[in-house]
Amino acid sequence: MKVFFALTAALVVLAYGVFQLPPFGGSFDGERLARMQKSPQWAQGRFENSPKQNTDDSISKNFKLYNQGIPRDPIVDIPVMALSAQTLRSKPAPGLRAIWFGHATVLIEVDGVRVMTDPVLSERVSPFQWIGPKRFHAPPIELKNLTGIDAVVISHDHYDHLDQATITKLSQDGTIFYVGLGIGAHLERWKVPPNQIVEMDWWESTRIKGIEIHCTPTRHYSGRKKMDNSTLWASWTIKGPKHSFFFSGDTGYSKHFSEIAKKLGPIDLSLIKIGAYGETWLDIHMDPESAIQAHLDLGAKTMLPVHWATFDLSYHAWAEPIQRATLSARSKSVHLITPRIGEPFEFGAPFQNLNWFQN
């Protein structure tokens, strides 16, 4: 019995020590915590959706759903178009362009400013690179060559959206990071200078190089160590003098899309998540048909579907999200683009969908 208690104590101490490592992020105190507590989204010691999220966290039910024998690996060789490092060293031209890196990572050039959404270029989405979901494809550029990014917007602090290695590399180039309340603690733990971190609450806005950065609502949850809603999740609406785009982050479907359109529309390009959903998650991870409706609620002109194709993070087959989204978009006359990884899209120019994801 003494041996059992000794081993248990050792494991507890080991687990505590592991959770103090940098990949698990920072802690919240002082002025940061005081500001978090003043947020309208803060309730009883954590951030909350309103109304509260309705999800079924039953381990047995989710395990059963995950083990239905559905093939979740790609059915094709995922094509990747290489992005030249030289391209990022030159000043972006006017207009609106997008390059999808896979999952929720998109490089946007909007009216002469480069913005990235949830940049994740690591091999695995995990606290450690020896375990966890592995990429199905390479990014269009190596992390060491990723440069020239003016701003990054972060939707929330889960590992498939907030990547320590990528953040560290970009911070060395002077990139400014726009994050929900509390997430700045993680970045500071990773040695990002405080003057490169802008923490925002929903409906707050700021500017960089002539474009507006709006932190907007979404319906999700957060936590690096555990699902404790310790930091604020967000969508982002970026408006330049002539062009605009919206990034959904992870979210369930709700009225917030219509509210964003009412306050900040019109929107040229929507980047909306279509993947990683399941019957127990829909309140915080909408399905493809809801994503198409969200695009319509926003009144956006073109939709680039994201959050699929790169990692195995849900119950559905690999290509199911884009197949369902394509059908729904066609039935509702939504202009949906399906670029290959690294393939440039220019707003206002013709674009040919190749349906590369089909078998």
Q: What are 306-355's pLDDT values in tens digits?
A: 999 999 998 899 999 999 999 999 999 999 999 999 999 999 999 999 99
Tell me, yes or no, whether 91 lies in a domain. yes
Tell me, yes or no, whether 353 lies in a domain. no
261 φ, ψ to 5°? -60, -40
What is the reported pLDDT for 32? 97
Give the number of domains in the chain: 1
Asked whether the beta carbons of 176 and 119 are under 8 A apart, the reply is: no
Tell me, yes or no, whether 107 lies in a domain. yes
CATH number at residue 266: 3.60.15.10
Domain extent, residue 302, equals 82-346
What is the reported pLDDT for 246? 98
The token duo for 310 is: 């790169």
Tell me, yes or no, whether 3 lies in a domain. no
**Continuous H helices in 172-287:** 184-189, 256-264
Asked whether the beta carbons of 82 and 141 are under 8 A apart, the reply is: yes
Tell me, yes or no, whether 33 lies in a domain. no
Tell me, yes or no, whether 32 lies in a domain. no
Centroid of chain to Cα 304: 14
Asked whether the beta carbons of 222 and 249 are under 8 A apart, the reply is: no
Tell me, yes or no, whether 5 lies in a domain. no
Paired strand residues for 110: 96, 113
DSSP secondary structure code for residue 41 in this structure: T
Distance CA 91, CA 97 (A): 13
Prediction pTM value: 0.94
Asked whether the beta carbons of 314 and 133 are under 8 A apart, the reply is: no
Closest by CA to 28, choosing from 137, 195, 185, 176, is: 185
Tell me, yes or no, whether 262 lies in a domain. yes
- Spans of the chain, pLDDT less than 50: 2-16, 58-60, 63
**How many CB atoms are located within 10 Å of the residue 35 CB?**
16
Q: Hey, is 219 helix, strand or coil?
A: coil
Provide Rg for the chain, Cα atoms.
20
Which residue in the block uniquely carries the two structure tokens 């479907």? 253
Asked whether the beta carbons of 134 and 123 are under 8 A apart, the reply is: yes
Centroid of chain to Cα 353: 23
Which amino acid, one-letter code, is at 268?
D
Distance CA 268, CA 244 (A): 5
